[in-house]
Amino acid sequence: MRKRLPIRRAKAASYSRFAGVVSIPVIGIAAALHRSGHLDTVALFSVLGFGFALALSAVVAAIAAVAAIWRRGAPGVGDAVFGLICGLIALTPAAAVTAAAILYPRLTDISTDLDSPPRLALSENRTQPDEHLRPAAQRAAYPDIVPRRFPVGTSQLYAAVEQVIEDQGWTIEAHLAPAMNDDPAVIRAQARTLLLGFVDDVTVRILPDAIGARLDIRSASRLGEHDLGTNARRIRSLLAGVDRVLTEAYGITEVQESDTAPAESVPLEYEKLDVGPDEPDVPVPGDKPEQLEAPVSG
């Protein structure tokens, strides 16, 4: 009777498959729970760290298994390859974040107007209005993010901005709508990042202008020391949406950009419009005392 030698399977290949398969739902479920508000930020980073460590170990184990199988010969190539693929998929977000951190400047607060920026609502993470603005770095990195002028009235521009904000799925926290077509306006909104749902603040300011109306946008991250280019992309997305809405509604095909100094184009008295939710009410200049108010639901 012929005796059969036991088949030695590559243990690293089995581990790679297990770790790679588990890492994907760990990362995905953590992101979904944080976005829905069921997982706090500290716990999120802990779970993500565990998930990425699993994925990295799956990749390392897969490479080690393939090398061992090549030398000694053993079953397990399929498990190793599958684990390698799953591990690389799970590591894709980490790789994307690393690449963005290298490609984009270390900024967390972006404004079209750097000399007289729209005011953000103060929070526990933002104790000074403009503490995170870095004008020189922003101008070097994003020269296209400047104030925009549109040949429409402030009411039309406000309606276009409001429509785009709703299309983007942002939450309007407070707003000052223009009562007349030459009144200034302010919108404060909250926007969430795509994958993890971090909350960022956006303020839109609309002022009457010699051309028609001037639009300024400011977007700022609440957490972290690097926005990975998110705030700049958000401002560009809002501007592109406004261009589209105005083109569809009024046939405006050319939008004039402006890098005029704010002292020449933003009257000082309009800065009183940028009142925060916790600041005392300040009447709007003129004979139309609109107040910054929360949007009416329904």
Mean pLDDT of all residues in the chain? 81
Q: Are residues 76 and 117 located together in one domain of the fold?
A: no
Q: Are residues 152 and 250 located together in one domain of the fold?
A: yes
Q: Residue 246's domain spans which residues?
A: 109-122+132-273
Q: Residue 118: inside a domain, yes or no? A: yes
Q: Are residues 94 and 155 located together in one domain of the fold?
A: no
Residue range 56-84, pLDDT digits in tens: 999 999 999 888 887 776 677 888 899 99
pLDDT score recorded for residue 121: 76
pLDDT score recorded for residue 144: 93
Q: Are residues 60 and 39 located together in one domain of the fold?
A: yes
Q: Residue 296: inside a domain, yes or no? A: no
pLDDT score recorded for residue 135: 93
Q: Residue 2: inside a domain, yes or no? A: no
Residue range 115-128, pLDDT digits in tens: 999 988 766 666 67
Q: How many domains, in total, are found in the chain? A: 2
Q: Residue 195: inside a domain, yes or no? A: yes
The total number of residues shown for the chain amounts to 298
Q: Are residues 140 and 253 located together in one domain of the fold?
A: yes
Q: Are residues 99 and 113 located together in one domain of the fold?
A: no
Q: Residue 279: inside a domain, yes or no? A: no
pLDDT at 275 over 50: no
Q: Using CA atoms, how far apart are residues 70 and 77, in angstroms rounded to an integer?
A: 9
Q: Are residues 64 and 46 located together in one domain of the fold?
A: yes
Residue range 168-189, pLDDT digits in tens: 999 999 888 898 888 899 999 9
